[in-house]
């Protein structure tokens, strides 16, 4: 979509949040086939906060390793490059959006809880499908609604109008965004993801999570996040900014070949992992 509103956001691209330099550097290293675990560990250990977080997370029940991991190199070797990148991206993105007003903070927390719920749902669905890159699904779920946060920060007035429209119509956020801003959070999120040079797969999931039929080569990841989004809403994990349920794409559901008896066990695991990980991220 190339509406005037989106062009306006692009013109203000310098205002878009940037990732911490360490995370950018790590992304570069992960993409470079010549880099080693040691190279990666060196960059991470330059940042004390990232180091502490990484060790805290790899030792959490989320990963469930039997013995304690005390070095960054150890964590890199155990988890693998992609997982480390995703993990650091996750914790950094959480910091990036420090809300200003109390109301903003509350809203952001609700968005993040929803994103976290969707991320865990995506991971659990991935495990159910025996997908080999569940980390990637986790990050995709976490970032799927990032456009909402950007809209809230860069276009606060429009965003208030969108929220008012959601309240008054008791409808979906995406419909209110399109009617007020002529652009939706998936478009805005895609823009940010492109600017951050995120992998194509992530850009596609962010862009197409409400219309997975258009996800092309990344149908699986997009379908997983689409379904996980609906599960997270049904389980009331945080808030997507509205109180209505979007329709389930039958194409996405059929693509995953999920069977109805799998729904409840997936939800149960998602809820239990949500309780666990929330303690670490808050």
Q: Does 98 bind other proteins (CB under 8 A)?
A: no
Least separation in angstroms between residue 121's CB and other proteins is 11
Q: Which of 2, 157, 247, 279 binds other proteins (CB under 8 A)?
A: 247
CB-nearer residue toward other proteins: 49 or 248:
248
Q: Does 271 bind other proteins (CB under 8 A)?
A: yes
Q: Which of 142, 230, 252, 277 binds other proteins (CB under 8 A)?
A: 230
CB-nearer residue toward other proteins: 56 or 244:
244
Q: Does 244 bind other proteins (CB under 8 A)?
A: yes
Q: Does 52 bind other proteins (CB under 8 A)?
A: no
CB-nearer residue toward other proteins: 198 or 252:
252
CA distance 140 to 224: 9
CB-nearer residue toward other proteins: 103 or 244:
244
Q: Does 243 bind other proteins (CB under 8 A)?
A: yes
Q: Does 253 bind other proteins (CB under 8 A)?
A: yes
Q: Does 264 bind other proteins (CB under 8 A)?
A: yes
Binding site for other proteins (CB under 8 A): 230-231, 233-236, 243-248, 253, 260, 263-264, 267-268, 271
């Amino acid at each position: 979509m190339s509406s005037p509103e989106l062009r306006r956001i692009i013109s203000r691209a310098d205002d878009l949040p940037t990732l911490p330099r360490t995370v950018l550097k790590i992304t570069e290293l992960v993409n470079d086939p010549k880099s080693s675990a040691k190279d990666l560990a060196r960059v991470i250990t330059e940042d004390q906060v990232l180091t502490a977080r990484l060790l805290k997370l790899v030792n959490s029940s989320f990963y469930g390793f039997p013995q304690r991991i005390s070095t960054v190199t150890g964590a890199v070797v155990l988890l693998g490059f992609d997982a480390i990148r995703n993990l650091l991206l996750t914790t950094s993105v959480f910091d990036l959006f420090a809300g200003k007003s109390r109301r903003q903070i509350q809203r952001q927390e609700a968005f993040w809880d929803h994103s976290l719920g969707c991320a865990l749902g995506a991971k659990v669905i991935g495990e159910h499908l025996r997908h080999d890159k569940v980390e990637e699904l986790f990050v995709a779920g976490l970032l799927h609604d990032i456009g909402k946060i950007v809209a809230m920060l860069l276009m606060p007035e429009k965003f208030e109008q969108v929220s008012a429209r959601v309240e008054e119509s008791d409808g979906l956020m995406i419909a209110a965004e399109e009617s007020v801003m002529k652009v939706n959070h998936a478009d805005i999120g895609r823009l940010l993801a492109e600017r951050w040079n995120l992998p194509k797969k992530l850009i596609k999931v962010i862009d197409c999570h409400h219309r997975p039929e258009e996800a092309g080569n990344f149908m699986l990841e997009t379908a997983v996040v689409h379904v996980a989004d609906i599960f997270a809403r049904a389980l009331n994990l945080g808030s997507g900014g509205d109180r209505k349920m979007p329709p389930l794409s039958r194409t996405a559901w059929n693509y995953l070949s999920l069977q109805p008896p799998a729904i409840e066990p997936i939800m149960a695991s998602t809820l239990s992992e949500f309780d666990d990980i929330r303690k670490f991220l808050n």
